[in-house]
Structure 1
Amino acid sequence: MEVKNFAVWDYVVFAALFVISSGIGVFFAIKERKKATSREFLVGGRQMSFGPVALSLTASFMSAVTVLGAPSEVYRFGASFILFFIAYTFVILFTAELFLPVFYRSGITSTYEYLQLRFNKPVRYAATAIYVVQTILYTGVVVYAPALALNQVTGFDLWGSVFATGIVCTFYCTLGGLKAVVWTDAFQMVVMVVGFLSVLIQGSAHAGGLHNVIEQATNGSRLNIFDFDVDPLRRHTFWTISVGGTFTWLGIYGVNQSTIQRCISCKTEKHAKLALYFNLLGLWIILVCAVFSGLIMYSHFKDCDPWTSGIISAPDQLMPYFVMEIFATMPGLPGLFVACAFSGTLSTVAASINALATVTFEDFVKSCFPHVSDKLSTWISKGLCLLFGVLCTSMAVAASLMGSVVQAALSIHGMCGGPMLGLFSLGVVFPFVNWKGALGGLLIGITLSFWVAIGAFVYPAPDSKTWPLPLSTDQCVHLNVTSVPSVFPSRPAIADTWYSISYLYYSAVGCLGCIVAGVLISFLTGHQKGKDIQPLLIRPVCNLFCFWSKKYKTLCWCGVQHDIETEQENLENGSAWKQEADSVLQNGLRRESLAQDVGYDPKDKSYDNMALEKITHF
């Protein structure tokens, strides 16, 4: 195909993204240089407000995978992708009301600390190892995707683009820590929305208005959104997207270190919840923009599909090719779109690097070296950011072999995220599950999800389940289609059933497999005694249905002391907080937030009893 090169203004707009992002890292490195603790670097001193955190959450997971992949999905398979708004809604509700309160009140930095508090160290280390592998794989996909876009529209060297992305992300993440990541994400979220809007406005104008776009999409069967077929082998239906999508994204949001780390960096639990709910609005906005971009793209290419005609070599190149078509006479705007795609990647990669550094430091370094000084711990954290920046960038090479970026990204999250969601659900929702059930459930969940996903890679689903809607090449001037004879390996019977399940169900398979196995193993090996579990660490959903009776409430909580109301218990809990505050202040650590939480008065070293009661009586 003919590569259309950037104009000078395109380079200016695109370069501005990298300069501003790097500048934010430098700014926070200078601003926070006197706060040299790993706590400040990794969780922003727990003093963030909900606004920038909400923007950061949206930007991190609405990456280049969404900017490039989602419009392509809509173009080829129709607007049923919009049903993800149902999945996003359930995901945010479950995260904000079920998982976040447990994580926030536990005072943890790494979500995997929770697993040690609830179960034991082996469960924690197993989960941390799986998270590290999952995140490096996923980050490789989102680094590769925009590099492909840049290569497509400008002819830049593909791997040069990959390494430029990795270097910039690693630079500002290593310098500025979580605050730099959050504020850079907020800036990049704005760039993403502006980039999408420019495509929507110009694309609609080219198509003769939004009315024409809707009419042509209807004629092309792109608006047949509600398909209630319950067949789990169908790639996208109402059920695969709303149910399978909920499991997939809950594994990403509900228990993912990258998300929870930013939520617990908020100054209060209320701010953390507000960040999640405002983030939901951001998810909806980006989703609508992506879907309409796909419909406008279909309207533009309805008579000459550049993919089946051979003009482009992969579906994920559709969006950048479309942008270069409609902005051919408008220098600067193609650069804005590529900056939009790269904004998603920079935010995602930086958040992943920061989260990887956090779990490695908290779960491994601090466990081996508990008395590391603040200065050294900060340098170790920065070194880990640098290390994971290199690893994530290198993983992009593998991503080039994984096909569709949306399916690859969500498959990775399903394979690893589903069992992890099941593991945390066992801890939070089922008080009777013991560490053997948790570890056994995790291993079985991982085995099931990897089995189905790898099987699907080796034996792709039949075309009847995954083939796109009709695409026309009637008015293409030049066709570059080369017929390749179909060669199918001999397929076992399981390939057309188990291996052909929708990729959106991978997470549900891993999660439910983990939960069922965990419950059964716990009963077989002797369930956990309620008196041994801290009430902060569980949140049984069944408790909602037993509010009328203290007896049934106790039964649902499996003997956990859920009503901590006695004065003695308050005093004991308060004493623990006082000792921690005193210890922190005596050691000269910058933990003002803890002291404020318990009402510490440095003048007379007294404590506000009301604040103490509020803290201890969750």
Structure 2
Amino acid sequence: MDVPRGIGTFSVWDYVVFAAMLLISAVIGVYYAFAEGGQQTSKDFLMGGRRMSAMPVAMSLTASFMSAVTVLGTPAEVYRFGAIFSIFAITYVFMVVVSAEVFLPVFYKLGITSTYEYLELRFNKCVRFCGTILYIVQTILYTGIVIYAPALALNQVTGFDLWGAVVATGVVCTFYCTLGGLKAVIWTDVFQVGIMVAGFASVIIQASLIQGGISTMLNDAYNGGRLNFWNFNPNPLQRHTFWTIVIGGTFTWTSIYGVNQSQVQRYISCKSRFHAKMSLYINLVALWAILTCSVLCGLSLYSRYHDCDPWTAKKVSAPDQLMPYLVLDILQDYPGLPGLFVACAYSGTLSTVSSSINALAAVTVEDLVKPRFRSLSERSLSWISQGMSVLFGVLCIGMAAVASLMGALLQAALSIFGMVGGPLMGLFALGILVPFSNSIGALVGLLAGFALSLWVGIGAQLYPPLPERTMPLSLETHGCNVTYNGTNWMTTTEMPFSTSAFQVHNIERTPLMDNWYSLSYLYFSTLGTLGTLFVGMLISLLAGGRKQNIDRRFLLTKEDFLSNFDIFKRKKQVLSSKSHPIEDGGTDNPAFNHIELNCADPSGKINGTRL
């Protein structure tokens, strides 16, 4: 290998490129603050007036969770653990089909703004409140990781100011979210997806030129054991196998796309259900493209450093810094391109943070403000929505400091979604798929699933699995100019996220730690979902769930599937976006009418059933 002659530093042109990305994002927000009359109502602000088309929404869906976690974390994951991560391509197929065919039809036909409105429609206000609070906590935690971790990685490699980057990210996101609402978020996401692809492409193209082509990179990866696609070991304690990625990954990613407010809010803002479903399926292609780019970047990393690992040689202090290190190594002779990659990483951050801020504002207004202040006008609600965007922007910046305790990127982020998103997905699945489930079963099931996933998730943070479970691949330093501590070879023995401030050291391992706490982090969501479903069904049966009469609109029916073919009928759309009339005060969702009418019923019954 041609040993790097010295890692470059950020030039003026790099800062110009990065600043231009921030400026264009802000300008999009200003444009949508005034375009088409601005944000006159909370629906305009939170849902884009429900007039969005499939393509921009698809790009926004991709950008929302293909964040800096992907840009920095996935290549480092492939570098250390191999290309088995590419099996997520299969996971994405299952995730999109389940989201589009199970959850979307129910959410779209009800005309809801917050997914947690469904929980009150199907169960009661208490279940809705619990779901809302869990979502807010989960999203603020995740957003803290998304803001802090890439800022830290880029700071330590490029010298990019850490807290300057954190505050700039938070301020710009808050600015265009507050001014432009969902339309600004979606169109900046479209722009930022372009930046992400351009940043990835610049690295892949230059790396292949330096290393002698894609075939050489693949050959290096093969010789280093990185092309480990097919590991069919069924052991759930192994971190990444075909089964943990396909089964556990499907549950984890469906909890993100199927019921997470940030994603659902996008596709139900579409002007028809056909556009909503198309946005998910187009998004699948975009997810494959981003995954391919990030895996190729990981293989580029390995080809470049297969005999001189910068992490082992202490040139970087964490795996998340490997991609910025590579960029400054191979692109140092091209002013502006390192800046393009940093813009790529921060585009991912901006898209995710803006999605989170907008979704948090939507959930707070719809679930916590509207039900208690029914006399507020739409204009007032629009101002409150904007105020909530500012508040959550500040909170997310503050959470960035707490996120520094979570360790590194990819696993920490997906673990949070698993621990909280899994039980929430189980709760929605209980309502949509199990006709006899009731509010008592839902609440007990949610608490049981959350306790289960939290138990194993926190245990895994405190007592990380041993290397035989995580299976890191060997890293070499014999090609470096200097050896590290007189050693030319080192096999990694740590968990990728053992930097957690919560890890307990110097303790004797027990069977509980080596088995239960060593469960693959991708199964956290599976555990939470199934725990919520099974306990919820059992308690519902014991609490008389079979005696209730449930409105079929709250369930997934065969008509929902058959309506997929309505597009072929002559101008006949069963589920049209025209079913969203606005009433004076309170909720604007006609699906709540039966609840509002029955609120005065002293018997406490809804649809003739006592809760």
* Residue 181 in structure 1 maps to residue 198 in structure 2: no
**Counterpart amino acid of residue 302 in structure 1:** H
Q: Residue 423 of structure 2 contacts residue 532 of structure 2 at CA under 8 Å; is this kept in 1?
A: yes
Structure 2 distance, partners of 1:452, 1:432, is 29
- 1:308-346 alpha-carbon deviations (Å, 9 max, x no partner): 111100000001101110001111100000000000010
Mapping of residues 155-166 of structure 1, within 5 Å: 155-166=159-170
Aligned to 1:136: 140
- Per the TM alignment, residue 375 of structure 1 is displaced from its structure 2 partner at its CA by 1.7
* Residue 457 in structure 1 maps to residue 461 in structure 2: yes
Paired residue secondary structure (2:335): coil
Aligned to 2:295: 291
Mapping of residues 224-243 of structure 1, within 5 Å: 224-243=228-247
* Residue 538 in structure 1 maps to residue 555 in structure 2: yes
Mapping of residues 467-482 of structure 1, within 5 Å: 467-479=471-483
* Residue 80 in structure 1 maps to residue 116 in structure 2: no
Q: Residue 152 of structure 1 contacts residue 321 of structure 1 at CA under 8 Å; is this kept in 2?
A: no
Structure 1 distance, partners of 2:237, 2:482, is 36
Count of residue pairs the alignment pairs up: 558
* Residue 365 in structure 1 maps to residue 369 in structure 2: yes
- Per the TM alignment, residue 224 of structure 1 is displaced from its structure 2 partner at its CA by 1.6
- 1:130-188 alpha-carbon deviations (Å, 9 max, x no partner): 00000000111111122123313431221221111101100100110000000000000
Paired residue secondary structure (1:523): helix
- Per the TM alignment, residue 399 of structure 1 is displaced from its structure 2 partner at its CA by 1.6
- Per the TM alignment, residue 528 of structure 1 is displaced from its structure 2 partner at its CA by 4.4
Q: Residue 146 of structure 1 contacts residue 338 of structure 1 at CA under 8 Å; is this kept in 2?
A: no
**Counterpart amino acid of residue 53 in structure 2:** S
- Per the TM alignment, residue 502 of structure 1 is displaced from its structure 2 partner at its CA by 0.5
* Residue 101 in structure 1 maps to residue 105 in structure 2: yes
Q: Give the structure with the larger helix fraction.
A: 1
Aligned to 2:501: none
Aligned to 1:552: none
* Residue 421 in structure 1 maps to residue 425 in structure 2: yes
Mapping of residues 216-615 of structure 1, within 5 Å: 216-479=220-483, 488-529=506-547, 532-539=549-556, 584=583
Structure 1 distance, partners of 2:389, 2:223, is 50
Structure 2 distance, partners of 1:154, 1:315, is 15
- 1:188-228 alpha-carbon deviations (Å, 9 max, x no partner): 00110111111110011111001101111100000021000
Q: Residue 166 of structure 1 contacts residue 390 of structure 1 at CA under 8 Å; is this kept in 2?
A: yes
Which stretch of the first structure deviates more once superposed, 293-302 or 33-42? 33-42
Structure 2 distance, partners of 1:541, 1:397, is 48
- Per the TM alignment, residue 296 of structure 1 is displaced from its structure 2 partner at its CA by 1.1
Structure 1 distance, partners of 2:373, 2:314, is 57
Percent identity between matched residues is: 58
- Per the TM alignment, residue 34 of structure 1 is displaced from its structure 2 partner at its CA by 4.8
Structure 1 distance, partners of 2:485, 2:35, is 57
Aligned to 2:56: 52
- Per the TM alignment, residue 393 of structure 1 is displaced from its structure 2 partner at its CA by 1.3
Unaligned runs of 5+ in 2: 495-504, 563-573, 591-611
**Counterpart amino acid of residue 508 in structure 2:** S
Structure 2 distance, partners of 1:99, 1:73, is 31
Structure 2 distance, partners of 1:125, 1:165, is 30
**Counterpart amino acid of residue 505 in structure 1:** Y
Structure 2 distance, partners of 1:326, 1:517, is 54
Structure 1 distance, partners of 2:284, 2:485, is 42
- Per the TM alignment, residue 488 of structure 1 is displaced from its structure 2 partner at its CA by 2.7
Q: Residue 152 of structure 1 contacts residue 320 of structure 1 at CA under 8 Å; is this kept in 2?
A: no
TM-score w.r.t. the length of structure 2 is 0.88
Paired residue secondary structure (1:471): strand
- Per the TM alignment, residue 485 of structure 1 is displaced from its structure 2 partner at its CA by 13
- 1:270-328 alpha-carbon deviations (Å, 9 max, x no partner): 00000000000000000000001101110000010001111100000001101110001
- 1:361-411 alpha-carbon deviations (Å, 9 max, x no partner): 000000110110122111110010001111111111122122220000000
Structure 1 distance, partners of 2:119, 2:585, is 30
- Per the TM alignment, residue 480 of structure 1 is displaced from its structure 2 partner at its CA by 5.4
Q: 1:378 to 1:472 in 2, by over 3 A?
A: same
Aligned to 1:550: none
Structure 1 distance, partners of 2:301, 2:341, is 14
- Per the TM alignment, residue 357 of structure 1 is displaced from its structure 2 partner at its CA by 0.4
Q: 1:281 to 1:225 in 2, by over 3 A?
A: same
- 1:14-48 alpha-carbon deviations (Å, 9 max, x no partner): 11100000000000111144541101100011000
Structure 1 distance, partners of 2:83, 2:455, is 30
Structure 2 distance, partners of 1:249, 1:263, is 16
Structure 1 distance, partners of 2:83, 2:160, is 32
Q: Residue 453 of structure 1 contacts residue 503 of structure 1 at CA under 8 Å; is this kept in 2?
A: yes
**Counterpart amino acid of residue 297 in structure 1:** L
Q: Residue 7 of structure 2 contacts residue 332 of structure 2 at CA under 8 Å; is this kept in 1?
A: no
Paired residue secondary structure (1:474): coil
Q: 1:406 to 1:34 in 2, by over 3 A?
A: closer
- Per the TM alignment, residue 539 of structure 1 is displaced from its structure 2 partner at its CA by 1.0
Q: 1:481 to 1:162 in 2, by over 3 A?
A: farther
- 1:81-140 alpha-carbon deviations (Å, 9 max, x no partner): 000011110000000011000000011110000000000000000000000000000111
Aligned to 1:570: none
Q: Residue 304 of structure 1 contacts residue 475 of structure 1 at CA under 8 Å; is this kept in 2?
A: yes
TM-score w.r.t. the length of structure 1 is 0.87
- Per the TM alignment, residue 493 of structure 1 is displaced from its structure 2 partner at its CA by 2.1
**Counterpart amino acid of residue 248 in structure 1:** T
Q: Residue 229 of structure 1 contacts residue 237 of structure 1 at CA under 8 Å; is this kept in 2?
A: yes
Paired residue secondary structure (1:368): coil
* Residue 199 in structure 1 maps to residue 203 in structure 2: yes
Q: Residue 68 of structure 1 contacts residue 145 of structure 1 at CA under 8 Å; is this kept in 2?
A: no
- 1:542-567 alpha-carbon deviations (Å, 9 max, x no partner): 999xx9xxxxxxxxxxxxxxxxxxxx
Q: 1:485 to 1:16 in 2, by over 3 A?
A: closer
- 1:415-455 alpha-carbon deviations (Å, 9 max, x no partner): 00000110000000001001111111100000000000101
Q: Residue 42 of structure 2 contacts residue 381 of structure 2 at CA under 8 Å; is this kept in 1?
A: yes
Aligned to 2:570: none
- Structure 1 residue corresponding to 2:124, chosen from 116, 120, 123: 120
Aligned to 1:553: none
Which stretch of the first structure deviates more once superposed, 468-477 or 68-77? 468-477
What is the aligned-residue RMSD (CA, Å)?
2.5
- Per the TM alignment, residue 541 of structure 1 is displaced from its structure 2 partner at its CA by 8.2
Q: Residue 310 of structure 1 contacts residue 481 of structure 1 at CA under 8 Å; is this kept in 2?
A: no
Q: Residue 64 of structure 1 contacts residue 341 of structure 1 at CA under 8 Å; is this kept in 2?
A: yes
**Counterpart amino acid of residue 491 in structure 1:** R
Structure 2 distance, partners of 1:485, 1:264, is 45
Q: Residue 66 of structure 1 contacts residue 290 of structure 1 at CA under 8 Å; is this kept in 2?
A: yes
Aligned to 1:12: 16
